[in-house]
């Protein structure tokens, strides 16, 4: 078993505790506010000026002033298995109940080429890996990554990191790839409890390798952590300052509800608790020099409300093309027609009638802003 000194890039924020190793950052919070710094944005994924340019282009396209739509990225969902069973898994792996769109085989080479060709022809920056589980449980993962990145597209990969070896991370770092590594807690015992296996050290090992390869220096490295009532204090006072000190982009985000059980929902914030959480985390980040005032609808710290359906879409193994991985609107099935036909009809209608997705409304400044109608899975937030 690795020891603290086996993670040299993390030694400044890693401590031993009765509950195993722990990421500790509260000692790094200065007493006085630091000079304002530029908030780093994860390459290819976080909302920046390029995303707004794509949105404006697509609004012109709908009005007939542009030949074709553009996309910042597309989620290409894969029917991958998973080596963990995280509490409240977004796709339902922990309950053996996957989203219906994930029913289907891995795409054929011809289908992948069709998807890549469409994206290239529509100004797309990157492919975002999404799916039923962990990408690196699939033997074809690195061949797929090579195929996508050799085409000139970048990639964003969500991973728990536990299956990656040092050479694997070196290969990923050599390509146009941004990594989002998943943690469930800053404390080893709590993280392992949440994922139902012992995985904390394997995950931070990959974080250590990514830092070793300088991925943080090009804004290509982030760590996500779903926030609950159980871990919120550690997320605010340990996770965020620790990640900032390492140059890693922190992705604390409100717990997604889609596949969450009633018992799991009890550890989630309601709207008032979410409001308090975002205010506290913004205060800590401000002391570190990162100024971000929470805005209506946001789910993730230091990011605005979700408008992804205006500049991206999601493709599923079943052939279904959705406005986003939350399964809000089905544009059609590209295996029955073509990707262009599906996008040019469903996506056009989505832009014309776009409203902030109810599943994305997490932060509200006052009770009056809480939407009157919410999806059933978000009623717990009231």
The structural domains of the chain, with segments of one domain joined by +, span: 4-29+40-366
pLDDT classification of 381: cutoffs 50, 70, 90: low
CA-wise closest residue to 325 among 63, 121, 78: 78
CB 88 within 8 A of CB 94: yes
Whether 13 has a pLDDT exceeding 60, the answer reads yes
What does the pLDDT average to over 95-107?
71
What does the pLDDT average to over 69-79?
95
Determine the Cα–Cα distance for residues 300 and 295; give it in Å rounded to an integer: 10
Determine the Cα–Cα distance for residues 168 and 210; give it in Å rounded to an integer: 10
Q: What is the pLDDT of residues 119-128, one digit of tens each?
A: 999 999 999 9
pLDDT at 86: 81
Q: What is the pLDDT of residues 128-143, one digit of tens each?
A: 998 878 999 999 999 9
Determine the Cα–Cα distance for residues 214 and 170; give it in Å rounded to an integer: 10
pTM: 0.93
Whether 260 has a pLDDT exceeding 80, the answer reads no
Q: What is the pLDDT of residues 288-312, one digit of tens each?
A: 999 988 887 777 787 777 788 899 9
pLDDT at 93: 54
Q: What are phi and psi for residue 194, nearest 5 degrees?
A: -70, -30
Please identify which residue in the block is written with the tokens 């449980």: 137
Determine the Cα–Cα distance for residues 336 and 14; give it in Å rounded to an integer: 52
Whether 217 has a pLDDT exceeding 90, the answer reads yes
Whether 91 has a pLDDT exceeding 80, the answer reads no
pLDDT at 99: 67
Between 264 and 80, the more confident residue is 80
Residue 304: burial class (beta carbons within 10 Å; 0-12, 13-18, 19+): middle
Between 189 and 365, the more confident residue is 189
Q: For residue 19, give both structure tokens.
A: 């509950």
pLDDT classification of 329: cutoffs 50, 70, 90: confident
pLDDT at 101: 67
What does the pLDDT average to over 14-37?
96
Determine the Cα–Cα distance for residues 334 and 299; give it in Å rounded to an integer: 30
pLDDT classification of 326: cutoffs 50, 70, 90: confident
pLDDT at 298: 79
Determine the Cα–Cα distance for residues 284 and 299; give it in Å rounded to an integer: 17
pLDDT classification of 379: cutoffs 50, 70, 90: low
pLDDT at 114: 95
Q: What are phi and psi for residue 276, nearest 5 degrees?
A: -65, -40
Q: Cβ–Cβ contacts within 10 Å for residue 174, how many? A: 10
- C-alpha distances (whole Å) from 341 to each of 49, 52, 55, 64, 107 are 28, 24, 20, 17, 19
Determine the Cα–Cα distance for residues 196 and 194; give it in Å rounded to an integer: 6
CB 240 within 8 A of CB 329: no
List, as one string, the DSSP characters of 49-114. Answer: HHHHHHHHHHHHHHTTSSSS---SEEEEEE----S---TT-TT-GGGT---GGG-SPPPPHHHHHH
C-alpha count within 13 angstroms, C-beta hemisphere, residue 176: 16
CB 326 within 8 A of CB 316: no
CB 133 within 8 A of CB 94: no
CA-wise closest residue to 241 among 198, 205, 284: 284
* Mean per-residue pLDDT over the chain, rounded: 89
Determine the Cα–Cα distance for residues 186 and 201; give it in Å rounded to an integer: 11
Least confident of 69-83, 220-234, 254-268, 334-348: 254-268
Q: What is the pLDDT of residues 347-365, one digit of tens each?
A: 888 888 776 665 556 778 8
List, as one string, the DSSP characters of 170-229. Answer: HHHHTSSEEEEEE-S-SBHHHHHHHHTSS-HHHHHHHHHHHHHTTGGGGT-EEEEEEE-T
Length of the chain, please?
A: 382
pLDDT at 131: 81
- 3-class DSSP assignment, residue 333: strand
CATH topology of domain 4-29+40-366: TIM Barrel (3.20.20)
Rg (CA), the chain: 20
């Amino acid at each position: 078993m690795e020891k603290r000194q086996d993670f040299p890039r993390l030694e400044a924020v890693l401590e031993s505790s009765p509950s195993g190793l722990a990421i500790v950052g509260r000692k790094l919070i200065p007493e006085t506010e630091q000079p304002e710094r530029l908030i780093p944005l994860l390459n290819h994924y976080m909302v920046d000026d390029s995303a707004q340019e794509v949105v404006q282009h697509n609004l012109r396209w709908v009005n007939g002033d542009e030949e074709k739509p553009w996309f910042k990225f597309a989620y290409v969902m894969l029917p991958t298995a998973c080596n963990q069973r995280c509490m409240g898994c977004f796709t339902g792996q922990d309950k053996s109940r996957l989203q219906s769109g994930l029913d289907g085989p891995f795409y054929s080479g011809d289908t992948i080429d069709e998807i890549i060709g469409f994206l290239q022809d529509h100004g797309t920056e990157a492919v975002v890996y999404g799916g039923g589980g962990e990408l690196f449980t699939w033997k074809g993962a690195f061949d797929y990554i090579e195929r996508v990145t050799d085409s000139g597209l970048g990639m964003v990969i969500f991973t728990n990191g536990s299956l990656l070896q040092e050479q694997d991370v070196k290969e990923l770092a050599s390509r146009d790839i941004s990594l989002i590594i998943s943690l469930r807690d800053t404390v080893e015992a709590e993280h392992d409890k949440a994922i139902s296996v012992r995985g904390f050290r394997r995950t931070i090992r990959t974080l250590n390798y990514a830092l070793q390869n300088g991925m943080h220096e090009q804004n290509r490295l982030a760590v996500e952590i779903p926030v609950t009532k159980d871990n919120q204090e550690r997320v605010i006072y340990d996770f965020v300052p620790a990640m900032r000190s390492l140059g890693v982009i922190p992705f604390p985000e409100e717990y997604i509800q889609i596949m969450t059980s009633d018992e799991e929902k009890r550890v989630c914030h309601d709207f008032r608790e979410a409001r308090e959480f975002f205010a506290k985390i913004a205060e800590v980040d401000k002391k570190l020099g990162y100024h971000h005032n929470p805005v209506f609808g946001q789910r993730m710290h230091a990011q605005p409300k979700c408008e992804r359906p205006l500049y991206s879409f999601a493709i599923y193994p079943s052939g279904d093309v959705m406005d986003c991985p939350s399964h809000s609107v089905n544009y059609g099935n590209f295996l029955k027609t073509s990707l262009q036909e599906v996008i040019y009809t469903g996506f056009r209608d989505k832009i014309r009638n776009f409203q902030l997705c109810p599943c994305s409304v997490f932060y509200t400044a006052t009770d009056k802003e809480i939407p009157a109608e919410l999806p059933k899975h978000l009623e717990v937030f009231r």
